[in-house]
Copies of this chain bind each other. A is one copy, B any other.
């Protein structure tokens, strides 16, 4: 079975859409998914001209992005409620998603995405997060401790370096072998790529 690496950032609404869609699409295609939480911010900050797509430079683009996200969520039947604080810092979320066992990562990640984009909760706040985790049956205290352990923090920064070494410059990104795909709107193409028999 081919594997697709799914690189996602909790601040990104397009990452959320992909997180909600990837398992059904990959499952139907017989493709395994490896969930790779990361942060796009540190990569963007290392760019020479430092533009952040999360802080769109022109009003036209800001207006457009909002509408695009709304239309796509409607199409995917996702109950978007715009975060009153946007973009929210995804650092704690990425640390948590990295700290849990891989088989728990999809459930935990969708819970965090929905806390941000459906419930409009402050996912950078450990108290809020503890509540979200407990409601989903996770051991919040143990999980937060694991998330904030030094080796996990350092591991996440190494993951960001790994993403950058792969040429990743946006979130979500999908990786199949050496082939890189950027954006929720390339998810189907990435899965089709992973199905190629010669891989």
State the A residues within 8 Å of B (CB): 47-49, 51, 57-58, 60-61, 63-64, 67-68, 71-72, 75, 164, 167-169, 179-183, 185-186, 189, 193
Query: A63 — nearest CB in chain B belongs to which residue?
Result: B167
CA distance A48 to B61 in the complex (A): 13
- A71 and B169 within 8 A (CB): no
- A71 and B182 within 8 A (CB): no
- B169 and A58 within 8 A (CB): yes
Q: Which residues of B contact A167 (CB under 8 A)?
A: 60, 63-64
- B57 and A47 within 8 A (CB): yes
- A169 and B75 within 8 A (CB): no
Q: Which residues of B contact A51 (CB under 8 A)?
A: 49, 51, 57
- B189 and A60 within 8 A (CB): no
- B47 and A180 within 8 A (CB): no
State the Cβ distance, A77 to closest chain B Cβ, in Å: 14
CA distance A72 to B185 in the complex (A): 12
- B182 and A68 within 8 A (CB): yes
Of the listed residues A57, A60, A68, A168, the one surrounded by the most CB atoms of chain B closer than 10 A to its CB is A60
CA distance A173 to B61 in the complex (A): 12
A-B contact pairs, 14 of them (CB 8 A): A48-B57, A48-B58, A49-B49, A51-B51, A60-B167, A63-B167, A64-B167, A64-B169, A64-B182, A67-B180, A68-B181, A68-B182, A68-B186, A75-B189
Query: A75 — nearest CB in chain B belongs to which residue?
Result: B189
Query: A166 — nearest CB in chain B belongs to which residue?
Result: B60
Q: Which residues of B contact A180 (CB under 8 A)?
A: 64, 67
Give the residue of B67, B68, B168, B185 whose beta carbon is less than 8 angstroms from that of A60. B168
Query: A192 — nearest CB in chain B belongs to which residue?
Result: B75
State the Cβ distance, A176 to closest chain B Cβ, in Å: 11
Q: Which residues of B contact A72 (CB under 8 A)?
A: 189
